[in-house]
Amino acid sequence: MEQQEAKALGLLAEYETPQALMAAAEKVRDGGYKRWDTHTPFPVHGIDDAMGIQPTILPWIVLGAGATGTLTALLLQWYTNGVDYPFLISGKPLFSWVPAFPVTFELTVLFAGITTLLGMLALNRLPRLHNPLFDVKRFARATQDRFFLALDATDPLFEDSSARALLEGSGATAVEDVPDVPTNENIPSWMWQVAIVLVFATFVPLGLIAASYNSTSTTPPFHIVGDMDWQESYRYGEEVPFFDNGQAMRGALPGTVAVGELEEDDAFYRGMDDMGNWLAVAPVEVSKSVLERGRERYNIYCLPCHGESGNGKGIVHERALALDTSGWLIPRDLTMDSIVTQPDGQIYDTITNGFNYDAETGTGNMAPYAAQIRPEDRWAIVLYVRALQRAANASIEDVPADKRSAL
């Protein structure tokens, strides 16, 4: 088969000095050619003018991109904060450019920056993996000591004979065809393989996100250093197989006392004297604040049953009667004689241990309040109960003499 003569892609002229190249460039420029370029081992000053290169339009493109970024950021923040999901914070305006500024700045720079890079590449038609000039042997000296001018055959003015004459008459030491050597335009298969692997690799993060999105597990998917986050811990009252009795809460060991819990003072902690008799008078100082405290605690813990005045008709009692609960034990009227005459220590003991209460079965007339009320508060309640009794059994003698006439 007859070998078809390959059509040249253009002409390459070689010069020995930058001056010669400059002069040639001016001629080609004045000849009206548009698709051509010069190649030199080092930057040649004035070559831009000699070639008639116009300033790049890249700055305008970047300006437009930056403005787009500004508008995008402002619109985004105005729409999300001011329109789509208005969220009033401290009466501030829903949209204002001042707080929107950081995002606006960032988007402006981001759009402009990316456009600068991509615009530069696009305007320069990069990336270009192969240039036909590489197939001209002498062109290798473009990086050493020769100056070249390449005229592209796609230029509208290009006509082989006239272009060749122009270059030959421009002081070139040689003018040569740029051959159209067929190149392998296929991307090497290993690149395909790597690309496919990379594409699939990009699905991994997406897959992980989707998996954790649909996950009902409460443990975090990634937790490289667990530290103390995963230690076994139990809540109050939880069951734990480790201990014989299955209770997570550990009681005091028999024969031991926790720091600060040595309750040696029988009078204060048990309301008894050395002989084991009830204290007649509470072992605490009586003051207005103690009585206030006593009233507060009484109203919290005792009032529901024993009533605000201590008469035994609290709201729980009223409710029990309304429900007609048979077997409901009426709370004691705390102002009755038999309790007025009780020693302080005995009332303290009733609060601490309950009344007729069986700790084994958890049943009895009144449950103990030792777990809820601290000893000093129990004494404060005792004092307040005394005040209630005093109020319930008051006589005219309790009123100061000068105020009696007012009654």
Smaller CB separation from ligand HEC, 257 or 315 = 315
Distance (Å, whole) CA 143 – CA 42? 8
Tell me how far, at minimum, the Cβ of 276 lies from ligand HEC, in Å: 17
**Residue in 163, 188, 141, 180 with CA at minimum distance from that of residue 42:** 141
With CA atoms as reference, report the closest residue to 331 among 296, 305, 369. Answer: 305
Q: Does 146 bind ligand HEC (CB under 6 A)?
A: no
Q: Footprint of ligand HEC on residues 291-350 (CB under 6 A)?
A: 301-302, 304-306, 316, 329, 331-332, 334, 339, 347, 350
Size of the site for ligand HEC (CB under 6 A): 21
CA distances from 55 to 59, 63, 123, 240 (A): 10, 15, 12, 80
Residues 6+ apart with CB under 8 A from 184: none
Residue 385 binds to ligand HEC (criterion: CB under 6 A): yes
C-beta of 374: minimal distance to ligand HEC in Å? 12
Q: How far is CA 265 from the centre of its chain?
A: 54
Give the nearest distance from C-beta 270 to ligand HEC in angstroms: 16
| The two structure tokens encoding residue 209 | 């996100």
Give the nearest distance from C-beta 385 to ligand HEC in angstroms: 6
Question: Is residue 365 close enough to count as binding ligand HEC by CB under 6 A?
Answer: yes
> Closer CB to ligand HEC, residue 69 or residue 314?
314
Q: Could you tell me the end-to-end alpha-carbon distance of the chain, in angstroms, rounded to an integer?
A: 140
Q: Does 65 bind ligand HEC (CB under 6 A)?
A: no
Other C-beta atoms closer than 10 Å to the C-beta of 9 total: 20
CA 383 distance to own-chain centroid: 54
Smallest distance from the beta carbon of 94 to ligand HEC, in angstroms? 54
Smaller CB separation from ligand HEC, 82 or 354? 354
The contacts of residue 68 (CB under 8 Å, 6+ apart) are: 111
Minimum distance of ligand HEC from residue 378's CB (angstroms):
7
Under rule CB under 6 A, residue 366 binds ligand HEC = yes
In the bound state with ligand HEC, the residue whose beta carbon lies nearer, of 62 and 351, is 351
Nearer to ligand HEC, 234 or 328 (CB): 328
Amino acid (1-letter code) at residue 71: L
- Rule CB under 6 A: choose which of 78, 158, 269, 355 binds ligand HEC: 355
CA distances from 159 to 86, 152, 175, 376 (A): 67, 10, 15, 113
Nearest distance in Å: CB 300, ligand HEC: 8
Contact set with ligand HEC (CB under 6 A): 301-302, 304-306, 316, 329, 331-332, 334, 339, 347, 350-351, 355-356, 365-366, 369, 381, 385
